[in-house]
Structure 1
Amino acid sequence: MTGTAEILRVEQHTVGLWAVLELTGELDVAGLPALQQRVEEISAADGPPRLVIDMSAVTFMDSCGLGGLVRCWKRVAGMQGRFVLVGLQPRVARVLEITGMRRAFEIYDSLEEFTRS
């Protein structure tokens, strides 16, 4: 974590049929409400959600942030949707690796790599 708490910013745009949430800052208990609100909004749209979480500007993620990601993933999967993570920074990727969750998520190095797949 950084010296001062960095509030998570969540920006949304679309790429084709996909909703993309760009996260900036720290994914922890303070930032979860913003992420979860956006995921709920996307899930409320017609049809199964297609959601990309761009984490290239996430500087920190703790166990609360990981738990929030898992809840969002389960929400989307429960609606027969698809949930993708892109742009994991080494510190964030390490949290997923240590907890064994890296295998659970569909992960790409970047949004560009994902859109080419």
Structure 2
Amino acid sequence: MTGTAEILRVDRRTVGLWSVLELTGELDVAGLPALQQRVEEVCAAGGRPRLVLDMSAVSFMDSCGLGGLVRCWKRVTGMEGRFVLVGVRPRVARVLEITGMHRAFEIHGGLEEFAGS
């Protein structure tokens, strides 16, 4: 964690058929409500959600943040949707690797790389 708390900002935009949530800051207990609210908005739109979390500006993620990601992933996939992470930085990637969640999540290098797949 950084010296000063950096509240998570979650901006939403649409790219083709995908909802993209751009996360900026620290993904921890303080930031989870903002993330979960945006994921619920995407899921409430109806149909099978197609959600990309752009994590290229996430500077830190703790176990609470990981738990929140797992809940969001379960929510989207429970609706037969697709949940994708892009731009995962090394510090956050390490948390995913230690916990084995890198095998559960669909992860791409960046939004441009993902859009091309």
Q: TM-score range by the shorter chain?
A: over 0.9
Query: For the residues of structure 2 that align with 1:100 and 1:82, how far apart are their CA atoms?
Result: 19
Mapping for residues 1-117 of structure 1, pairs under 5 Å? 1-117=1-117
Shift in Å, 1:46: 1.9
Q: TM-score, normalised by structure 1?
A: 0.99
Query: For the residues of structure 1 that align with 2:42 and 2:87, how far apart are their CA atoms?
Result: 21
Query: For the residues of structure 2 that align with 1:11 and 1:77, how far apart are their CA atoms?
Result: 21
Q: TM-score, normalised by structure 2?
A: 0.99
Gaps of 5+ in 1: none
Counterpart of 1:40, as a letter, is E
Please identify runs of 4+ aligned residues in structure 1 that moved more than 2 A.
Answer: none
> Deviation per CA, 1:63-83, whole angstroms, max 9, x where unpaired?
000000000000000000000
> Deviation per CA, 1:43-99, whole angstroms, max 9, x where unpaired?
001211000000000000000000000000000000000000000000000000000
How many residue pairs get matched? 117
Q: CA RMSD in A?
A: 0.3
Q: Secondary structure at the match of 1:12?
A: strand
Name the % identity: 83
Gaps of 5+ in 2: none
